[in-house]
Structure 1
Amino acid sequence: MQIETDFFGAITIEPSEIITFASELPGFPDAKQFVLLPFGEGVPFWSFQSIDQPECAFIVTNPFWIDPDYVFELTDSAKEQLSIEETAQVAVYTTVTLREPFQESTTNLRAPFVMETKQRLAKQIILEDTYPNRQKIGSLTEVGGR
C-alpha cells in the first residue's frame, strides 16, 4: 500500500503496520489510521504518520528513555477499549517538539499514545498533573543514550 507522508514523501507500507485509533485523536477527528516510521537506525525518534491525512505527522519517542521512572496506570475502560490483557502487549510513545538548540527540545509526558501491539489499536490518554507536558529531553540523540 502506498501512502504520502509529511517527512518521507511517498512510501510503501504493509497493511500489518497500520495502527488504528480506538477513539478520536484530540484535535484530529479525521485521522484514524497511522504508521510508525523510523527516522534512522539507532535514532530514538519516529514519525507517527497519519494515513488519512498526509499533513498530520507527529515526531514521537519512547518516554522511558527520557524518564526511566515514568509510570502510569491505565483505566479499566482504556484497557478494554484497546483489548489489553497484559503489559507485554503495550507500547507507549510521547510527542516531541524539536527546538534549537536540540537540548531544549521537549516531550509531552502528560498525553502519551498507548498502543496495544497485537491488534495495533491506539489511544491518546491524558494523565492528570502527574507529569509535565514539556519535559526537556536533554541530550538524547540515540537509542538508550543521554
Structure 2
Amino acid sequence: MKIQNDYYGEVEYEQNDLLTIPGGFWGFSDLKYYLPVCISEDDGSVLLLQSTEQPEIAFVVINPAFLCEDYSPVLSAEELSCLGVTEEGELSYYALCVIRDNYLENTVNMKCPLAINPLTREGRQVILENPDFGYRHKISSFPNIITSDNLQNGSLAHADTATEKK
C-alpha cells in the first residue's frame, strides 16, 4: 500500500506496519489506523503518526523517556488488560507534541501518553495519575533539548515501534 506524506512524498507500507488505536486519540476517535514514520532515518524516538484513514491528519510523538529518564507510567489494571499485558514495562510510550514555529515553544503532553503493545501494535491513549506529569511541558525545559540539529543527525534515543521510510 502507499500513502502520500507531506514530508517524504509517497511512502510504501504493509498492513502489519500500522498501529491500531481502537479508541482513537481524544478528539479524533473515528481515526483508528496510523502509520508510524521516523522523522529521523536512524532514530525512532520522534515519530510522525499519520492517519491512513485521513492522510492529512498526523501527530508528532516522542518517546518520553528521552525527555525524562525516570518517566515510569503507572496504568490501571483495566488499561493493562485492554492492551494485553500484565505490567507497564511491556509497553512502549509516546507523548504527543505540539509543534510551533519556534522550537523552543514546543510542548509535550506527558500526562496523556499513547501506550503501545509492541507485540500487537495496538495502542491506547491513557491519563496518568502522577501529578508530576502535565499536559503542556515545554520541551526546552528538559535536559535533552530537541533542536533541529539532533533531529537531523539522529542523536535521539531509539524506540522499537517505528516503521522505517521505504
TM-score w.r.t. length of structure 2: 0.77
Q: Alignment RMSD, CA only?
A: 1.9
**Percent sequence identity over aligned pairs:** 28
- Structure 1, unaligned runs of 5 or more: none
- Whole-Å Cα distance in 2 between the matches of residues 21 and 143 of structure 1? 25
- Match for residue 135 of structure 1 among 134, 137, 150: 137
Aligned residue in 2 for 1:22: 22
Q: Which amino acid aligns with 2:78?
A: S
State the shift of 1:88 in Å. Answer: 4.8
Aligned residue in 2 for 1:8: 8
Aligned residue in 1 for 2:160: none
- Whole-Å Cα distance in 2 between the matches of residues 17 and 26 of structure 1? 22
- Whole-Å Cα distance in 2 between the matches of residues 54 and 31 of structure 1? 10
Aligned residue in 1 for 2:37: 37
Extract structure 1 runs of 4+ deviating beyond 4 A.
none
Q: Larger relative CO (CA 8 A, sep 6+): 1 or 2?
A: 2
- Whole-Å Cα distance in 2 between the matches of residues 64 and 115 of structure 1? 14
Alpha carbons 1:22, 1:81 under 8 Å: kept:
no
- Whole-Å Cα distance in 2 between the matches of residues 23 and 49 of structure 1? 16
Count of aligned residue pairs for this structure pair:
144
TM-score w.r.t. length of structure 1: 0.86
State the shift of 1:100 in Å. Answer: 4.1
Q: Which amino acid aligns with 1:10?
A: E
